[in-house]
């Protein structure tokens, strides 16, 4: 890589880090600070919590606290469950609370998952990640309580996390599977928690149990959960593709929708090439049979994007035919996912036709919130750095971290974990290499790509030329970013941004 390119990248990263330091306290990690802020913990705990809730994250981190003194319990509870708190403070709080309650950090984390506001999915997921990073032996010491929560908790997230923790504690699937099968809705909860298990070999051991449920399950919800979970199991990608293709062809409702989402999570390089054309025909038939007024529904848009993905995996001559028919049936749809624990989108670039309608679906599979912003050509660093200098709005449902700049063309709100957003617009009439990025402070140096606007999409597809990476100034080497396994240590490191 040329020295000038390296300098550009370093400069941009420094700008992003500088911007991240200014993020509003309630929604960004706190900087390390000394414990200097004194709170009167002798007051009623409700008053203490009220005072703590008025503090910024940096101020909360600086509150004087004593891990052996039960009067400081409200401080540690707030540290554990505060949105955007750094991992090290959550770990400290879980340990202190376990000491006070004479139980384990794992149980404190699990209880916190259930106590967090149900709308705060980012904090829930961060706590789940923290729970499953505990040592298997520590989780095993709490098996009885974990089993009780897995069966009886009113929170679906707690149930899923408890089953995932039980599997991690055992290191094998048999006992936890039997427990789930004996509980009302247990298999659905276990399947929902399966992708959260850090150990890839353990996830793989579940394959013989999950596979039959993809084809036939006790109820549609369990079948959908099995279809959703199976793509998180490594080592069986060809079989998974075949199974999910069958569900898409024969199924309907939530099972088919889950299969469409799931099959797109399997790396395209591992799709069996001989099965791709048949599934492409199925996808086209599904879209043809959908009334025209319903073709912009989220599930249909996902199916359209699957068709685009399949066309891209075919030989060019065949792929062009599929894309042409998709274009006649539906709006140009681009589905973009976030890669879990990697702070990246799953695509590096996409191509649209000048002046034509576009719909982008952003699916957030990560543990933290993300957005997508479309910017003018050459504006990546400028928009990213400007967003990093912004304070968060009082209401995070508003569009946060969107600079007031004419170079910002379109944007979503911050999309929470396990949620999605749709961005509809008319592509620019001027061809060029536009940018897209996540403007949550500090994310954009990794979460970016190019929206290539061309005069004629069909002509471009006949002779495709990858656009230029706005960071390296070199052509993109591939269109897709593929997920890769993350160890618990790496997962924790990704959150220290």
Report DSSP letters for 385-451, one per residue: HHHHTPPPPSSTTS-TT----TTEEEE--PBPTT-EEEEEEEPPSS-EEEEEE--STT-TTTSEEEE
Q: 89 and 24, same structural domain?
A: no
pLDDT above 90 (res 190): yes
DSSP state of 380: H
Q: Which residues of 460-471 are buried (b: 16+ CB within 10 A; e: fewer)?
A: bbeeeebbbbbb
Domain count, the chain: 3
Among the residue ranges 2-6, 59-63, 272-276, 394-398, the one predicted with the least confidence is 2-6
Among the residue ranges 118-127, 255-264, 371-380, the one predicted with the least confidence is 118-127
Higher pLDDT, 493 or 191: 191
pLDDT at 29: 38
* Confidence bin at 417 (pLDDT 50/70/90): confident
Q: What is the mean pLDDT of the chain?
A: 86
- Among residues 295, 330, 365, the one where a domain terminates is 330
Other CB atoms within 10 A of residue 72 CB? 21
Burial class (CB in 10 A: 0-12, 13-18, 19+), 270: middle
pLDDT above 70 (res 228): yes
Q: 189 and 51, same structural domain?
A: yes
* Confidence bin at 45 (pLDDT 50/70/90): confident
Cα distances from 221 to residues 174, 204, 228, 240, 376, in angstroms, run 22, 22, 10, 19, 43
The span from the CA of 107 to the CA of 101, in Å, is 10
Residue 376, domain extent: 1-29+333-482
Look at the block and give the residue holding tokens 């802020």: 37
Q: Is residue 493 part of a domain?
A: no
- Among residues 287, 310, 330, the one where a domain terminates is 330
Taking CA 281 as the corner, what is the angle to CA 280 and CA 285, rounded to the nearest 5 degrees? 120
pLDDT above 90 (res 395): no
Q: Is residue 496 part of a domain?
A: no
| Per-range mean pLDDT, top range of 24-33, 329-338, 461-470 | 461-470
Among the residue ranges 19-33, 216-230, 257-271, 377-391, the one predicted with the least confidence is 19-33
* Confidence bin at 483 (pLDDT 50/70/90): low
Q: 38 and 176, same structural domain?
A: yes
Q: Is residue 102 part of a domain?
A: yes
Q: Which residues contact 415 (CB under 8 A, 6 or more apart)?
A: 362, 364, 369, 370, 371, 421
pLDDT above 50 (res 32): no
Question: Mean pLDDT throughout 166-193?
Answer: 95
> Does residue 296 contact residue 252 with C-beta atoms inside 8 Å?
no
pLDDT above 50 (res 188): yes
Among the residue ranges 111-125, 332-346, 381-395, 482-496, the one predicted with the least confidence is 482-496
* Confidence bin at 293 (pLDDT 50/70/90): confident
Question: Mean pLDDT throughout 228-246?
Answer: 97
Other CB atoms within 10 A of residue 152 CB? 11
Coil, helix or strand at residue 263 = helix
The span from the CA of 353 to the CA of 426, in Å, is 9
Q: 291 and 433, same structural domain?
A: no
Domain CATH number, residue 349? 2.60.40.420
Question: Mean pLDDT throughout 456-484?
Answer: 86
- Among residues 169, 197, 225, the one where a domain terminates is 197
| Per-range mean pLDDT, top range of 205-209, 309-313, 364-368, 468-472 | 205-209
Other CB atoms within 10 A of residue 185 CB? 16
pLDDT at 21: 39
Q: 50 and 184, same structural domain?
A: yes
Q: 264 and 132, same structural domain?
A: no
Helices (H), 206-290: 207-215, 220-230, 237-250, 253-263, 276-289
pLDDT above 90 (res 195): yes
Q: Is residue 492 part of a domain?
A: no
pLDDT at 306: 95
* Confidence bin at 421 (pLDDT 50/70/90): very high
SS3 for 42-105 is CCCHHHHHHHHHCCCHHHHHCECCCCCCHHHHHHHHHHHHCCCCCHHHHHHHHHHHHHHHCCCH
The span from the CA of 332 to the CA of 422, in Å, is 13
pLDDT above 90 (res 24): no
The span from the CA of 269 to the CA of 215, in Å, is 24
Question: Mean pLDDT throughout 290-297?
Answer: 83
Q: Is residue 144 part of a domain?
A: yes
Residues linked to residue 375 through DSSP beta bridges, in sequence order? 408, 435
Q: 341 and 399, same structural domain?
A: yes
Reported as type and span, the H/E element at residue 332 is strand 332-339
* Confidence bin at 393 (pLDDT 50/70/90): confident
Phi/psi at 414 (5° precision) = -70, 125
The span from the CA of 419 to the CA of 125, in Å, is 12
pLDDT at 330: 76
Q: Say how many residues make up the chain.
A: 497
Q: Is residue 488 part of a domain?
A: no
Question: Mean pLDDT throughout 392-400?
Answer: 73
The span from the CA of 310 to the CA of 244, in Å, is 14
Question: Mean pLDDT throughout 314-330?
Answer: 87
Q: Is residue 491 part of a domain?
A: no
pLDDT at 34: 62
* Confidence bin at 25 (pLDDT 50/70/90): very low
pLDDT at 364: 92
Q: Is residue 489 part of a domain?
A: no
Q: 291 and 362, same structural domain?
A: no
Q: 69 and 116, same structural domain?
A: yes
Coil, helix or strand at residue 336 = strand
Q: 42 and 175, same structural domain?
A: yes
**Tell me: the pLDDT tens digits for 54-70?**
998 889 999 999 988 99
* Confidence bin at 489 (pLDDT 50/70/90): very low
- The percent of residues in the chain predicted with pLDDT above 90, rounded, is 60
Gap between the terminal Cα atoms of the chain: 25
Q: 347 and 320, same structural domain?
A: no
Picking from 32, 113, 105, the residue whose alpha carbon sits closest to that of residue 67 is 105
Q: Which two tokens stand for residue 369?
A: 């919130």
* Confidence bin at 221 (pLDDT 50/70/90): very high
pLDDT above 60 (res 13): no
Question: Mean pLDDT throughout 33-46?
Answer: 82
Q: 344 and 423, same structural domain?
A: yes
């Amino acid at each position: 890589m040329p020295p000038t390119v390296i300098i550009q990248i370093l400069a941009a990263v420094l700008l992003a880090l500088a911007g991240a330091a200014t993020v509003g306290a309630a929604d960004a990690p706190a900087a390390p600070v000394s414990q200097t802020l004194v709170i009167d913990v002798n007051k009623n705990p409700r008053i203490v919590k009220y005072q703590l809730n008025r503090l910024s994250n940096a101020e909360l981190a600086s509150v004087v606290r004593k891990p052996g003194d039960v009067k400081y319990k409200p401080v540690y509870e707030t540290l554990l469950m505060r949105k955007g708190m750094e991992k090290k403070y959550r770990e400290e709080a879980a340990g202190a609370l376990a000491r006070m309650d004479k139980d384990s950090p794992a149980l404190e984390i699990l209880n916190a998952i259930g106590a967090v506001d149900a709308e705060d999915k980012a904090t829930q997921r961060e706590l789940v990640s923290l729970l499953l990073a505990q040592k298997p032996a520590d989780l095993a010491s709490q098996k009885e309580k974990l089993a009780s929560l897995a069966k009886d908790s009113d929170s679906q997230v707690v149930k899923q996390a408890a089953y995932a923790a039980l599997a991690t504690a055992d290191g094998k699937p048999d006992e936890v599977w039997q427990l789930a099968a004996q509980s009302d809705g247990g298999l659905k909860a276990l399947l929902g928690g399966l992708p959260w298990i850090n150990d890839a070999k353990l996830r793989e051991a579940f394959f013989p149990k999950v596979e039959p449920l993809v084809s036939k399950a006790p109820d549609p919800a369990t079948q959908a959960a099995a279809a959703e979970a199976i793509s998180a199991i490594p080592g069986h990608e060809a079989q998974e593709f075949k199974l999910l293709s069958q569900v898409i062809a024969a199924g309907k409702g939530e099972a088919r929708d889950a299969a469409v989402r799931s099959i797109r999570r399997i790396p395209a390089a591992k799709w069996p090439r001989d099965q791709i054309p048949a599934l492409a025909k199925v996808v086209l038939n599904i879209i043809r049979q959908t009334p025209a007024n319903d073709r912009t529904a989220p599930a249909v848009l996902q199916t359209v994007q699957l068709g685009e993905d399949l066309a891209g995996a075919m030989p060019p001559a065949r792929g062009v035919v599929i894309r042409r028919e998709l274009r006649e049936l539906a709006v140009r749809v681009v589905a973009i996912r976030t890669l879990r624990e990697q702070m990246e989108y799953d695509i590096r670039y996409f191509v649209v036709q000048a002046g034509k309608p576009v719909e982008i679906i952003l699916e957030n599979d990560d543990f933290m919130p993300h957005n997508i912003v479309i910017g003018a050509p050459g504006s990546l660093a400028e928009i990213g750095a400007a967003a990093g200098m912004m304070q968060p709005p009082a209401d995070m449902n508003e569009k946060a971290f969107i600079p007031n700049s004419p170079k910002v063309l379109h944007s979503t709100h911050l999309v929470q974990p396990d949620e999605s957003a749709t961005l509809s617009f008319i592509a620019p009439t001027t061809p060029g290499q536009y940018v897209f990025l996540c403007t949550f402070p500090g994310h954009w140096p990794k979460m970016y790509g190019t929206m290539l606007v061309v005069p004629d999409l069909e002509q471009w597809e006949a002779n495709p030329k990858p656009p230029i990476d706005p960071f390296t100034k070199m052509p993109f080497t591939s269109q897709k970013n593929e997920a890769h396994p993350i160890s618990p240590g790496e997962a924790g490191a990704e959150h220290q941004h």
